[in-house]
Amino acid sequence: MKSEALNNNQLTESPMNIIDGKATAQQIKAEIAAEVKEIVAAGGKQPHLAAVLVGHDGGSETYVAAKCKACEECGFKSTLIRYEADVTEQELLACIDRLNQDADIDGFIVQLPLPKHISEQKIIEAIDYRKDVDGFHPINVGRTSIGLPAFVSATPAGILELLKRYNIETAGKHCVVLGRSNIVGKPVASLMMQKGYPGDATVTVCHSKSKDLKEQCLKADIIIAALGSPEFVKADMVKDGAVIVDVGTTRVPSTVTKSGFKLTGDVKFDEVAPKCSYITPVPGGVGPMTICSLMMNTLHAGKKTYYR
Ligand code: GUN
C-alpha cells in the first residue's frame, strides 16, 4: 500500500483509520429515536426497559445511570428498581418474576456483579429469555451460537455493528480473538465464524494458556483483543494493514488525569495504530457501542422482532 503522510508528518505503510465508536453510537441512538417516534405516532407502544440495581457499587451505579440516560435519548421509557446489598436471592427472584409477568416491560437487565450470597447464574436463568436484552440467558447464548435470531450480548453485538458500519471485509479473513470470556470472547468468535456478513471469517481463539499467541496474532487480518490486560498487544505482534478491535477497558493509575486513572485498552495504541488499516481507540471505540447495543436489543424487544 502507498505511504501516506499522517498529521504529525510520520510515514506509514498502511493508511490508518480510527473507528469512531462514540460518533457511531450517537448516530445509532438518533436512528432508534426516529424509529420510536414513528412507532408511537402510528399508535404503537413506547419500548420500556427496566434495570435492577443491587447495592451501591460505584461502577454499577455509573453504568445503570448511563443506560437510563441512553433510554431517554432513544425515546424509551425506563424504570430503575433498587435493592440494598443484603437483599435475599428469593426477593430478587420474586422481582424477576414480576418483571417477567409485567406486560408493560419489554426487556430488563439485572446489573452485575451481584453480592456473593446471590447466584448470578440462577438470576440470569430466571429471566424470561424473551425479555433478556442483555443476551445472557442460555437460550439466547445457544440460539446465537447456532445462528438463530436472538438477543446478542452487548459488546459482541457492538463490535459487529462497528465492522458493518465501516464496511470492513470479514469473509475469508483470519480473525484472532484474544480471550474466551462468556460475554465477549466466546460469542464474538462464534459470530465471526457464522455464515453471512459480518462473519464468514476463519477464527482462532487464544487465551492465557495459548502457547503461540504472538505467532497467531501475526497471521491475523483482524484481531479482537478482549483479555483485560493493558497494552498487551504490541506492534511486533501485528501484521501490516490488520484491523484491530480493542475491547480492553482497564483503569490504570495516571498522574495526568484529574480522576487519577485512565481507561487503558489491551492494545499499545501509539505503536500499533500506524501499522493498521482500522483501529478502535480506548476510550471512544467499542465502549460507547455496548450501551447502544442494549438500546437496539430493547427496540427489538419492544417490536417483538425475535420472539412473540
Ligand atoms: N456489568 C457489566 N457489564 C454488564 C452488562 O452488560 N450487563 C449487566 N447486566 N451487567 C453488567
Range of the domain at 229: 156-288
Flag whether pLDDT at 190 surpasses 60.
yes
Give the pLDDT mean for 93-119: 98
Same domain, 179 and 236: yes
In the chain, the number of structural domains is: 2
Give me ligand 1 centre to Cα 218, in Å.
32
296 located within any domain: no
Q: Looking at residue 279, which CATH number applies to its domain?
A: 3.40.50.720
Same domain, 133 and 50: yes
Give me ligand 1 centre to Cα 32, in Å.
21
Whole-number Å distance between alpha carbons of 272 and 279 = 9
3-state DSSP percent of the chain in helix, strand and coil, to 5: 40, 20, 40
208 located within any domain: yes
7 located within any domain: no
Same domain, 204 and 244: yes
Ligand 1 neighbours by CB, cut-off 6 Å: 109-112, 134, 154
Query: Which pLDDT band, with edges at 50, 70 and 90, does 14 fall under?
Result: low
147 located within any domain: no
21-41 and 58-74 helices cross at what angle (nearest 10)? 50
Among the three residues 140, 165, 187, which one is the final residue of a domain in this structure?
A: 140
Residue pLDDT, tens place only, 216-259: 999 999 999 999 999 999 999 999 999 999 999 998 999 988 88
Give the pLDDT mean for 60-65: 95
Residue matched to cell numbers 483479555:
227
Q: Is 41 exposed, middle or buried (0-12, 13-18, 19+ CB in 10 A)?
A: exposed
Give the pLDDT mean for 186-200: 97
Same domain, 171 and 270: yes
Same domain, 107 and 228: no
92 located within any domain: yes
CB atoms within 10 A of CB 148: 11
Flag whether pLDDT at 52 surpasses 60.
yes
* More confident call, 13 vs 204: 204
Whole-number Å distance between alpha carbons of 279 and 241 = 10
* More confident call, 169 vs 6: 169
5 located within any domain: no
Same domain, 121 and 238: no
Tell me the whole-structure pTM to 2 decimals: 0.92
Q: Which atom of ligand 1 is nearest to the CA of 290?
A: 6
Same domain, 125 and 168: no
Return mean pLDDT, the chain: 94
Give the pLDDT mean for 75-79: 98
Q: Looking at residue 106, which CATH number applies to its domain?
A: 3.40.50.10860
Give me ligand 1 centre to Cα 111, in Å.
5
For residue 107, how far is the Cα from the chain centroid? 17
The DSSP bridge partners found for residue 263 are: 251
Flag whether pLDDT at 147 surpasses 80.
yes
User: Tell me, what amino acid is at 226?
Assistant: A
Same domain, 213 and 92: no
Among the three residues 140, 169, 191, which one is the final residue of a domain in this structure?
A: 140
Same domain, 221 and 195: yes
Give the mutation target among 52, 60, 68, 111 for probing the ligand 1 site: most ligand atoms within 8 A of CB. Answer: 111
Same domain, 189 and 278: yes
